[in-house]
Amino acid sequence: MKDHRILSPHEEVAAEDELFRALLSLRDLAECRAFFQDLCTPAELQALKDRWAVAECLAEGLSYRQIHDRTGVSLTTISRVARYLSNGAGGYQKVLKHLKK
């Protein structure tokens, strides 16, 4: 059955802003881990971890095959992350840059 949203577009943006503010309020790795474990199902959390691992591998210059062999992530997911890494909103790039410091 499809999910039927009842929030207006404005309310959706406000809800998204509140989620992002919640993330920004986290003070350390333990708080972040606890929040994500409560927020996400195990499968959702695994998907996020997989995508981040792929982004890091792509930033290292690894080939899709090398990334697949290292992580077990599908080539479809690797391709999708690569597309967002180069043509997305810039979030992956920004965080990768922050972590290099």
| pLDDT averages per 10-residue partition of the chain, 101 residues | 78 96 98 98 98 98 98 97 96 96 72
- Within 10 angstroms of residue 34's Cβ, the number of other Cβ atoms is 11
pLDDT at 4: 76
The single-letter code of the amino acid at 26 is: L
pLDDT at 2: 60
pLDDT at 101: 72
pLDDT at 73: 98
Nearest in space to 84 (alpha carbons), one of 99, 71, 74, 94: 94
Structure tokens at 95: 């965080």
Rounded distance between C-alpha atoms, residue 73 and residue 47, angstroms: 9
Residue tagged 């210059």 (tokens): 61
